[in-house]
Amino acid sequence: MCSAKSTEQSSQLIQAYLDHLLLVRRYSPHTVSAVRQDLNLIAGDPAQASQQHLKSLLVQRHASGLAPSSLARMLSSWRGFFAHLHEAGTLASNPALGLRAPKLPKRLPKAVSVDHLNGLLSGPLPKAPFSHAIAHLLIELLYATGLRISEAIALELPQPTTSNQRSWINVDRAELQVLGKGGKARIVPLTRILVDLIHQWLSIRASVLQDHGVSLAEFPYLLVSAKGRAYGVRQAQKDLAAYAKHRQLPVHLHPHMLRHSFGSHVLQESQNLRAVQELLGHSSIASTQVYTSLDFKHLAKVYDESFPRSKRK
């Protein structure tokens, strides 16, 4: 049984690592919260943890029915934590290095067809109800830029104190900057259609803030809730799904599907994997290669144009 002193030391080590992820590595609060849950599974003093102990925890969680993806995330959290302790000199070695999680099934990202998205986004920005207006804008924003939902809600309008270390959107210059995973910044251009929608949205945004007594100067974010506050991820998910259903989209729409649609459609048209990697903010080209599962029609076209004996005289 763990002593109170051991438990306190364990909590201090974990908290120091979580602070490092949040403040230095610039992980999102949601990711840090997930890492905290994974690390809290390690009973006792982390400095005394053995590979056998960690392996037993993995086996127990696997036997309880935990999904392979969750086991892989848990093991990744452990590896990062123990690597941090090793670099700090607290541990002589990383006990999680030799562990292996169950193999994850390969799943292609879900994408919405171009025709369905064109139908969903046809027409001007609805002025009412509010949830329809913000959902329409957000769908266009995510699809036209490939942003993650967390990146989109963090966008700020230009301010005198705007820093390169923040996520911002500049409508006049038709570009935005986001800080992706690991604090990596990337610049993404804006389409004319998206710029027009944002101009329409800014009028709605100003009215909402005024109705709730919030000045434009003190609220920097592009997106605002119906109550004049910061717009949240969960609300965005609900609004997008409800609006897509209202517009009779035949699939349940999730924000990340729009990012996948952006990556798939740009790659199919351009065949430029490196450019798609930069636009999506992937640190590794391997993450982008999942989008290379193109439709047969496109593959047949490439084959006919490229293979010498397929060309007709």
pLDDT at 254 over 90: yes
Residue 198 counted as domain residue: yes
Could you tell me how many residues make up the chain?
313
Query: Does one domain contain both 218 and 284?
Result: yes
Average pLDDT of the residues in 262-286: 72
256 is catalytic: yes
Radius of gyration, CA atoms only, the chain: 23
Residue 304 counted as domain residue: no
Query: Does one domain contain both 148 and 213?
Result: yes
* Contacts (Cβ under 8 Å, ≥6 apart) of 82: 46, 49, 91, 94, 95, 96, 97
Residue 303 counted as domain residue: no
Question: Average per-residue pLDDT in the chain?
Answer: 82
Given the residues 20, 55, 186, 256, the one annotated as active site: 256
297 is catalytic: no
> Which of these three, 68, 87, 106, is where a domain ends?
87
148 is catalytic: yes
Query: Does one domain contain both 74 and 123?
Result: no
Query: Does one domain contain both 158 and 11?
Result: no
pLDDT at 305 over 70: no
Query: Does one domain contain both 238 and 288?
Result: yes
Q: What is the pLDDT of residues 216-237, one digit of tens each?
A: 888 999 999 999 999 999 999 9
252 is catalytic: no
Residue 275 counted as domain residue: yes
Query: Does one domain contain both 129 and 271?
Result: yes
Report yes or no on whether pTM surpasses 0.85. Answer: no
Query: Does one domain contain both 285 and 231?
Result: yes
Residue 270 counted as domain residue: yes
Give residue 186's domain range: 114-292
CATH of the domain at 244: 1.10.443.10
Given the residues 36, 61, 166, 181, the one annotated as active site: 181
Given the residues 84, 116, 136, 259, the one annotated as active site: 259
291 is catalytic: yes
| Residue among 147, 137, 156, 172 at smallest CA distance from 260 | 147
100 is catalytic: no
Number of domains in the chain: 2
Residue 107 counted as domain residue: no
Using the CB atoms, write b or e for 127-165: b if 16+ within 10 Å.
eeebbbbbbbbbbbbbbbbbbbbbbbbbbbbeeeeeeee
Query: Does one domain contain both 169 and 22?
Result: no
Query: Does one domain contain both 67 and 156?
Result: no
pLDDT at 71 over 90: no
Question: CA-to-CA distance for 65 and 60, rounded, in angstroms?
Answer: 9
Given the residues 73, 116, 148, 247, the one annotated as active site: 148
